[in-house]
Amino acid sequence: MSDPVSVERPVTRNGSRGGSASTSDAEAKISSNVQGAGGPPTGTTAPAKVITRPGDRIFKALTVGSGVFVVVMIALIGIFLLIQAIPSLTENKANFLFSRDWSADPADLAFGVLDLLLVTVFSSVFALLIAMPVSLGIALFLTQYAPRKLARPFAYVIDLLAAVPSIIYGLWGAYVLAPAMGPFTKWLNDTLGFIPIFAKGSSDLGIGQTIFTAGIVLAVMLLPIITAISREVFDRTPPMQVEGALALGATKWEVVRTTVLPFGKAGYISASMLGLGRALGETIAVLIILSATTQHFSWTLFDGGDTIASKIARAAQEFNDPRGAGAYIAAGLVLFVLTFVVNAFARAIIAGHKEYE
């Protein structure tokens, strides 16, 4: 039958980072159902249990141990960051959450994460706003519009975007894209400058080291992530619904609008949230593109500045004094919590949808 194909498929899916993540929950349920029905029974009356040998006990202990290890690991990340951050936080002369100035000089700690947090969220949301519609289009194109034979190679091409290391995105963004965007951003600033987000910021438009440039590069990096997961979900639209719509005389677009989109909406939103999580934590591309500034973030796309991640990376070479490093670790903790919440939220959305199984 089609066994080789089904063995191959998940592999190609994993070519895109996290591409398979959303489906595995669903598949876990399928397989456990199947096993509950006909698989090796694991209940109390299991015949397999009769032959419990030392090897079995040791092996099981190893696998359980590995599972526990991973759970402990995530807790340790939070705990260790917290432990290392606390001494610096207690010596901090500024309000960590609400101060907008950052001074991690060990002799005079006065650091606040607010400005970094604003730039982080602002640039990521901007990137998401660009990436969401485009990924939606690509996912629809690959699942509904592209000729069946070409869909897979096309999908592979989109996955290639995920294979490019972020440092190369950063170099391209800073040295090629940024100058090329100069005329466009100047035009935006001239014509739409009255809208606060297009107002003149701390970064020169000709040089282009702005949140705008960084956001566009981030958006490109998000495309393969959002597309891969949305594609999976759209592919699972029940054929009955599609056929029903067609039978009623719907055009292709109407089929998509009335069946595929409503069905895949939650998956698409979840995918976008996962993408957001990725954008929030992106480090090196943002570091290379954004110009540093001493001014506060002023809610414009044409500001420079630092995200939490880029600020940490910028200072990475100076980690030697525990209190100075502690300030950055505190910022890292905020980023960890932020991405934790966003990711957990993304998983929660899709976990409530049994129809994706």
Partner 1 sequence: MTAATDFDRPATAPAFQQLSGARKAKNRIATVLVGATFVLALVPLVWLLVTVISKGFEHVLNGDWWQKSLAGLTSRQFGGGVYHAILGTLLQGLVCAVIAVPIAIMVAIYLVEYGKRSRLAKAVTFTVDILSGVPSIVAALFIYALWITTMGQPRSAFAVSLALVLLMIPVVVRTTEELLKIVPDELREAAYALGIPKWKTIVKIVIPTAMSGIITGISLAIARVMGETAPVLVLVGYTTFINYNPFGGSMASLPLLMTSERLTTNEVGEARVWGAAVTLILIITVFNLLGSLISKMTSLKTK
Partner 2 sequence: MNIKRHASVLSLIAVGALALTACGSDSNTPAGSNNSAAPAPTKTAEVECGGKKDLVAEGSSAQKGAIEAFTAAYVAKCPGQQLAYTPSGSGAGVKQFNAGIVDIGGSDSALNKDKGEVDAAATRCKSNPAWNLPLVFGPVGIAYKVDGVKDLVLTPEVTAKIFNGGIAKWNDPAIAAVNKGATLPDTAIIVIFRADESGTTDNFQKYLKASAKDAWGKDAGKKFNGGVGQGAQGSAGIADAISAGNGTIGYIEWSYVQDKKLSAAKIDSGAGPVELGAEGAAAAIKSAKIKGTGNDLVIDLDALYASKTAGAYPLVLATYEIVCSKGYDADTAKAVKAFLTTAATDGQAALADAGYVPLPNEFQEKLLTAIKAIS
The residue ranges that bind partner 2 (CB under 8 A) are 107, 174-175, 178-179, 202-204, 206-209, 287, 291-294, 304, 314, 317-318, 320-321, 324
11 binds partner 1 (CB under 8 A): yes
Q: How far apart are CA 89 and CA 71, in angstroms?
A: 27
61 binds, among partner 2, partner 1, none (CB under 5 to 8 A by kind): none
Tell whether residue 4 is a contact of partner 1 (CB under 8 A): yes
CB 313 within 8 A of CB 307: no
Q: Is 44 in the site for partner 1 (CB under 8 A)?
A: no
Window contacting partner 1 (CB under 8 A); options: 30-38, 89-97, 110-118, 181-189? 30-38
Helix axis angle for 114-140 and 261-281, nearest 10°, is 140
| CA atoms in the 13 A half-sphere facing the CB of 275 | 36
State the amino acid at position 167 in one-letter form. I
Alpha carbon distance 332, 88 (integer Å): 13
Give the CA angle between residues 160, 164, 168 to the nearest 5°. 150
Which of the stretches 60-68, 189-197, 205-213, 262-270 binds partner 1 when contact is defined by CB under 8 A?
60-68
Choose the contact partner of 156 out of partner 1, partner 2, none; CB within 5 to 8 A by kind: none
313 Cβ neighbours under 8 A, 6+ residues apart: 283, 284, 287
Q: How far apart are CA 235 and CA 5, in angstroms?
A: 16
**Closest approach of partner 1 to the CB of residue 49, in Å:** 9
In the list partner 2, partner 1, none, the entry touching 142 (Cβ below 5 to 8 angstroms by class) is partner 1
Interface of this chain with partner 1, residues 239 to 298, rule: CB under 8 A: 239, 242-243, 246-247, 249, 251-254, 256, 274, 277-278, 280-284, 288
Long-range contacts, 98-104 (Cβ 8 Å, 24+): 100/296, 100/297, 102/311, 102/327, 104/315, 104/324, 104/327, 104/328
Cβ–Cβ < 8 Å for 221, 279: yes
Residues in 300-329 that interact with partner 1 by CB under 8 A: 309, 312-313, 316-317, 319, 322, 325, 328-329
Q: Which does 48 bind (CB under 5 to 8 A by kind): partner 1, partner 2, none?
A: partner 1
- Which of partner 2, partner 1, none does residue 202 bind (CB under 5 to 8 Å by kind)? partner 2
As measured in angstroms, the least distance from the Cβ of 107 to partner 2 is 6
**Contact region with partner 1 (CB under 8 A), list: 81-89, 107-115, 188-196, 200-208:** 81-89
Distance of CA 269 to the CA centre of its chain: 12
Residue 56 touches which member of partner 1, partner 2, none, C-beta under 5-8 Å by kind: partner 1
